[in-house]
Amino acid sequence: MMAALQTEGLVKRYGALLVTDHVSLDIRPGELHAVIGPNGAGKTTLINQLSGELQPNEGRVHFDGHDVSALSVDQRARAGLLRSYQITSIFEEFSVLENAVLAALAAKRHAWRFWRPMLDDSAARPAAQEAIAAAGLSAQAGVAAGELAYGQRRQLELAMALAAQPKFLLLDEPMAGMSVQESTAVTELLRGLKRRYTILLVEHDMDAVFSLADRITVLVYGRAMFTGTPDEIREHPEVRAVYLGEETV
């Protein structure tokens, strides 16, 4: 299931500081759209406005044909707009499987049940196991999340977003803190998700971004400076000057 996401002139101010500067995005169904930019460009703030954790001062967010600007985080999640966090945010006491099944529960509307074990849920459990497999964590299903290695925790971040029946994935630096090997593995993981979900990927890892993205938006000082295909971005003189510098990608 793939949905589109558009924003209309999003503005976010902290006092006199303009963190999001009239950002209008247009993310097409099924595409993998990357957002890149130097540190401090306001990428996480932007994602927080898309997921509902932050209210913009101006502008609207349209998801799957509906104006979701007034919807809360959980409402957007139930509508299919799921995110993963840059700083891992999981349920440390629960096992990998339990984390994923919990994520699947809401999508299946099975959370308000008070007797039979959650792991017996015939709808949520398979969905969770599929998500875990897609994220490459099947071998760790029984391990407590708190005991996972760092890279595995990032994978669980991803698995939870997948388990919740997303139409749209907001991925906030899924490869943060990973080694080259781990990043490569996750890149292939994400490639496998393309065309199954619409994905907005915020990342610093340029190899991954240029390898995966259908289109890229460059964010500088809160402004969406340029949107284009990886080739167009590579060649764009302003982008090279501001962000890529002398490096060839």
Partner 1 sequence: MTTLNLTRPATALPLLLFAGLAAVPFIAGALGQPFWTSFFARILIYAIAATALNLALGYGGLVSFGHALFLGLGSYAVALPAFHGVDSGWVHLALCLLVCGVGALAIGAISLRTSGMAFIMITLAFAQMGYFLLVSLKQYGGDDGLPVSATSRFGPLNLGSPLVLYGAAWGVLALATWWMARLRRAPFGMALRGARQNARRINAIGLQAQRLQLAAFVISGALCGVAGLLLANLNAFASPSSMAWTVSGELIVMVVLGGIGTVFGPLIGAVAFLGLEEVLKGMTEHWMAIFGPLIVLMALVGRHGIIGLLDRLGAWKRARAEVAPALSEGHA
Cα separation, 1 vs 10, whole angstroms: 26
Residue 60 tokens, joined? 């609207």
Concatenating the DSSP letter of every residue in 70-109 gives T--HHHHHHTTEEEE-SS----TTSBHHHHHHHHHHHHHT
Closest CB 80 distance from partner 1, rounded Å:
9
221 is a contact residue toward partner 1 (CB under 8 A): no
DSSP conformation class of 27: E
Which residues, in sequence order, are CB contacts of 229 under 8 Å at separation 6+? 214, 215, 216
Closest CB 241 distance from partner 1, rounded Å:
37
Between 96 and 125, how does the x/- string for binding to partner 1 read (CB under 8 A)? Answer: --x--xxx-xxx--xxxxxxxxxx-x----
Would you say the C-alpha torsion 210, 247, 175, 87 has a positive or negative sign? negative
Judged by CB under 8 A, the stretch of 159-167, 179-187, 202-210, 240-248 that binds partner 1 is 159-167
Between 32 and 61, how does the x/- string for binding to partner 1 read (CB under 8 A)? Answer: -------------------x-x--------
Q: What is the binding site for partner 1 (CB under 8 A)?
A: 51, 53, 72-74, 77-78, 82-83, 85, 89-94, 98, 101-103, 105-107, 110-119, 121, 160, 163-164
